[in-house]
Chains A and B, each alone.
Chain A
């Protein structure tokens, strides 16, 4: 991934993250506000419930006090004070009192706790109500929740107990009303809210005990766990019920336990608040945030593209400059933009290339002088070899002038023959230098390297088994089939000849000539190894320098020609050598050359059949 792409991605991610954080923050803040609002509404409803509860209790208390203070009640209380009073006379009085005062439950209880009359459960008369006696100040108590056992059911009531003040012994009047859907109907609820009451009158969860202002509640079993939790720990709880897979249908319930006089859990008041508004609001915010985010991302994409282009342009120029330097353009210079770190880097790059170019120029001059000196030394050495015999021959001719004609003729013939030979040597030396200077440009055709290598080795077969000389054994490890490459058959053949000849010269005591071909990363690799004495590292480093040779007889041009051919084919040549074990030359030639024509194999073969110039391979 490019630096620009990375920078673009980072900027985009940053914008996306920023938008996401803002959207999340807004959503969270809005939801928190709504939750707070919902809590306030619930608190208000609970306060209203408590107020209604208190008002209903006060109203019941007034009615019970009216019954208490009624003359008929007073007469009953006085009558029942008598020993052996006939309690049966009052069995139905509670029912009448309940009807007269609009109460659901009315009971008259004697001073000993005996039930005299019951509107809601007449059959229970005569039984004791032991819970009344311990409290002496019933007239000062307010309404409380009470469990009412009825003939066929159990009910929850809001009840008040009063005593007749005009009789010596307490005479209890208990009155109450059901805490049922009528009570819930009296609560004024905001939109989206509803109130439920669970009458906790049985140990287990009873679905029918959960009532609303409309009567029974749908899916009451969904509240079983909530009721169970409060039954274990009677504390207010908040519970969300998902009525369907749609989150908007969910409802949050605030459950408030309702306790009786002895703190026993008798009921649970449930305030339900629909989450529809919250979900819709949240969805709207999320959608808005998504829209804004998308817009911001688009704008951010444009800005990020512009910014990344601005930032990466100098870096790309630097990279391009570095590539040019690597490609050999040591004098490359790049534009310097600004004075920031990138600008300073560009200026340093320019200084570096300027220094490198100067050093290279100096190095080239030094090498050029050295090369000329080496050439002069070699040339002088090569020329001196034939010149010295020629000088001796000429001096002999001068001396032979004093000899007789027969002897002079004999010396003259020998001298002219020697002069011809040495002149031929001079001509050969000049031709070699001339050939090296005239290395032609390669003509690329498709070439089978294995065949070219075999042809080159075949030319030296007479020398492998030459009588009187140590034997040299050629060994081939050629990959077959081998991909054909774009190459000049003549130049490659000349290079192979020089390598083989060099290897033969390295094995004066005989040995093994190993030739390998293989494919590596789109290149064809040729290895030529000998088992000679090997080379020192210094010799290896100077091996391809023109006119450098380790032999007594050699121009130092053979391996220079090989390197020139490999270089012209855009390949690489390297040498590895172990002293005493031999030397290996490794050539990598690309399979395809840029701009090389698709020449047929026949053309290549025809070209290869051209007789190689053995002289060019001599070293």
Chain B
């Protein structure tokens, strides 16, 4: 196993997904070990959380002393959409630090439309990249395929890519995750709230807005009521240790 693979494993083992979901996200999210949530794939429970700080420390001890230290920390690029992503990014930086792996957070402001896993050649070099992924299909095959194509993971050819067999999907997802280049963190539902004077707010089941049908009841002005849960879950994933400039 190369040093980079060891480093990826140590980072993965150091991540405390439970605290991220239950404390920082105040139980509004679920710890994620798979790319597709359980309700979408049905087999997510087969992926296990592998948090083990002691083992991460042991792996780190086998790595060269100069790796991920103060002189050359891992850079975590956070495509920040707000305090939440920043908070999660800081947590991702804090956890490996307990295993003597120094991670430096680099915030990068992006628009909502660009908040996906795609990167451009002008992105600053970063070893880690924290991003949010929005599911846009009820089909696990389509969701996984869109994930693979968006990230240029390069295994979408052949019958495997078109199969809807859960076993083959599971195998494909496991293959994607086994090198730990993608580390799912949490699955977070997306919430949208609107005021009481908003009428005909009927978004699509997977999040698309149909603003052409929306209208406002102007004569009545009243405080906005809490939003209804209506959206897709968004797992925050992190592709670790990508080479500088490479797409995850």
Contact = CB atoms under 8 A, between A and B. Distances in A.
Q: Do A and B come from one complex?
A: yes
11 contacts: A87-B23, A88-B27, A89-B26, A91-B26, A121-B94, A123-B87, A123-B88, A123-B91, A123-B94, A126-B19, A152-B105
B241 interface: no
Interface string A113-148: 000000001111111000000000000000000000
Given A123-B91, A123-B93, A151 B105 contact: yes
Contacts of B116: none
Contacts of A152: 104-105
A89 B19 CA distance: 13
A586 B93 CA distance: 115
Contacts of A126: 16, 19, 23
B90 A125 contact: no
A588 to B, nearest CB: 95
Contacts of B19: 125-126
A264 B104 CA distance: 26
A125 B24 contact: yes
Given A151-B105, A152-B104, A152-B105, A123 B23 contact: no
B118 to A, nearest CB: 26
Contacts of A121: 90, 94
Interface string B5-33: 00000000000100100111111000000
Interface string B233-248: 0000000000000000
Interface in A44-98: 86-89, 91
A122 B27 contact: no
A127 B94 contact: yes
Interface in B82-123: 87-91, 93-94, 98, 104-105
Contacts of A86: 27
Given A123-B88, A152-B104, 6 more contacts: A88-B22, A88-B23, A88-B24, A122-B87, A123-B93, A126-B23
Nearest to B21: A88
A549 B178 CA distance: 144
Interface of B is mostly: helix
A331 B93 CA distance: 117
Nearest to B18: A126
Given A151-B90, A151-B93, A123 B104 contact: no
Nearest to B16: A126
A120 to B, nearest CB: 11
Contacts of A127: 94, 98
A152 B87 CA distance: 12
B90 A123 contact: yes
Contacts of A151: 90, 93, 105
Contacts of A124: 94
A88 B90 contact: no
Nearest to A86: B27
B24 A123 contact: yes
- Size category of the A interface is 10 to 19
Interface of A is mostly: loop
A91 B23 contact: yes
Contacts of B23: 87-88, 91, 125-126
Closest 3 CB pairs of A and B: A123-B90, A123-B91, A88-B26
A400 B231 CA distance: 198
A152 B105 CA distance: 7
Nearest to A92: B26
Contacts of B94: 121, 123-124, 127
Contacts of A89: 26
Nearest to B26: A88
Nearest to A87: B23
A86 B27 CA distance: 10
Nearest to A115: B23
Interface string A170-206: 0000000000000000000000000000000000000
Contacts of B98: 127
Which of B22, B88, B98 has the most chain A CB atoms closer than 10 A to its own CB? B22
Contact of A91 (B16, B24, B88): B24
Contacts of A123: 24, 87-91, 93-94
Contacts of B87: 122-123
Contacts of A87: 23
Contact of A122 (B16, B22, B24, B105): B24
A411 B26 CA distance: 185
Nearest to B107: A152
A388 B168 CA distance: 180
Contacts of B90: 121-123, 151
Nearest to A126: B19
A115 to B, nearest CB: 10
Nearest to A204: B70
A91 B24 CA distance: 7
Nearest to A151: B90
A504 B105 CA distance: 127
Contacts of A91: 23-24, 26
A439 B93 CA distance: 130
A88 B29 CA distance: 12
Contacts of A122: 24, 87, 90
A123 B76 CA distance: 14
B229 to A, nearest CB: 19
A88 B93 CA distance: 20
A122 B26 CA distance: 13
Nearest to A122: B87
B117 to A, nearest CB: 22
B142 to A, nearest CB: 34
Nearest to B19: A126
A433 B204 CA distance: 168
A585 to B, nearest CB: 103
Contacts of B104: 152
A248 to B, nearest CB: 41
A149 to B, nearest CB: 9
A14 B25 CA distance: 90
A123 B87 CA distance: 6
Nearest to A95: B83
Nearest to B83: A122
Interface string A142-165: 000000000110000000000000
Which of B16, B23, B87, B104 has the most chain A CB atoms closer than 10 A to its own CB? B23
Contacts of B89: 123
A88 B22 CA distance: 6
Contacts of B22: 88
Contacts of B88: 123
Interface string A577-611: 00000000000000000000000000000000000
A127 B24 CA distance: 13
Contacts of B25: 88
Which of B22, B89, B91, B105 has the most chain A CB atoms closer than 10 A to its own CB? B91
Interface string B167-195: 00000000000000000000000000000
